[in-house]
Amino acid sequence: MSSSIHFTHAITRRPAPSITAGLRAVDTGTPDLALMQAHHDAYVATLRETGATVVELSALDAYPDSVFVEDTALCLPEGAVIMRPGAPSRLGEAAEMAPHLRALYGQVVGITGQESFIEGGDILVTEREILVGRSARTNAAGIAELTALVAPWGHTVREVHTPPGVLHFKTDCSLLDVDTILSTKRLSASGCFAGYTVIDVADGEEAAANTIRFNDLVLLPEGFPRTRDAIAAAGFSVREIGNSECAKLDGGMSCLSLRFTPRA
């Protein structure tokens, strides 16, 4: 089993009423909580359909963006690393996640430097390396700390760059299988995926780049038919999930879960 695409567990968190105050680069309207919850329910049901255990945490109204749990931790087979989100309103979310990971993992460590910032959305774990995109939320000190923390577990980190104006590295890319990455052209053109097979999202469908491969399924945001068809034509089983409300907050498929297989 490949640890970068096969998982026994996921953690999600229900969206809170305060989601209307969530961070966004551009205001495209107020997210509808009921519709977001319906999309979230479909997302969780799809993860469970693959046989995984999904821990659904209760909503945290004190943190409007807390539905986007991916930013709080990096989960590897050997242990979990608690992040230090670069958005001040999100910093406290990481401590809220820590006890849930300690319940499942023998080893939980954390980014602690006061000048270190790193969010899970900037981290793409492949079978051979961990790519971390420097961004407005993730800095060199955060990447250096992560590199030192995961080295004893046998993981190497490669620093790359999130395109300017893009929230997170994984806003623009996803792992489809151990050798295949779905990417926007603006990101793949940087050359950071040399050595991988790259499928570019269709022009005008850049928001489709944030998908997840979870066991036998690829979860893709609804509304990107040309990219859906390209992924299906490459042999993947695709599920479309409504994402209109999370998209108003720059959120996508990966942001909504932590996915992992803790090593016994």
Footprint on this chain of ligand GLY (rule: CB under 6 A): 22-24, 65, 68, 87, 90, 167, 249-251
CA–CA gap between residue 156 and residue 143 (Å, rounded)? 11
Least separation in angstroms between residue 228's CB and ligand GLY is: 24
Cβ proximity to ligand GLY, 71 vs 240, nearer residue: 71
Closest by Cα among 263, 253, 167 to 218: 253
Amino acid at the residue 151: A
Query: Where is 122: in which H helix or E strand?
Result: none
Least separation in angstroms between residue 41's CB and ligand GLY is: 20
Least separation in angstroms between residue 9's CB and ligand GLY is: 23
Cβ proximity to ligand GLY, 200 vs 245, nearer residue: 245
CA–CA gap between residue 66 and residue 53 (Å, rounded)? 20
Cβ proximity to ligand GLY, 32 vs 177, nearer residue: 32
Least separation in angstroms between residue 24's CB and ligand GLY is: 6
Asked if 40 is an active-site residue, the reply is: no
CA–CA gap between residue 67 and residue 190 (Å, rounded)? 30
75, 173, 192, 255: which is the annotated catalytic residue? 255
Q: Transcribe 29-90 into DSSP letters.
A: ----HHHHHHHHHHHHHHHHHTT-EEEEEPP-TT-TTTT-GGGGEEE-SS-EEE-B-SSGGG
Cβ proximity to ligand GLY, 55 vs 91, nearer residue: 91
Amino acid at the residue 155: H
Asked if 255 is an active-site residue, the reply is: yes
168, 173, 192, 246: which is the annotated catalytic residue? 168
Catalytic center residues: 168, 255
